[in-house]
Amino acid sequence: MTTEQDKALAAVKMAIQMETDGKEFYLKAGEASGNELGKKLLTQLAAEEDIHRRKFVQIFETIRAQEGW
């Protein structure tokens, strides 16, 4: 792996963690919400964060698999 590849992987890994943390935040906030519409919105936001996380995982795997970055 090259230094540039390592930097790219580190950045994407950070993005994956941010999306994971965001999903957890929205789920906890939804559980704590006393408003049904608020719960629904927060659950949808959590689902969006999971979609983002999965895309970043794909990007991570693509970068990791490439030789000679």
pLDDT (tens digit per residue) in 23-52: 999 999 999 999 999 999 999 999 999 999
Give the mean pLDDT of 10-26.
99
DSSP assignment of the chain? --HHHHHHHHHHHHHHHHHHHHHHHHHHHHHH---HHHHHHHHHHHHHHHHHHHHHHHHHHHHHH-S--
Kindly tell me if the per-residue pLDDT of 1 is higher than 70. Answer: no
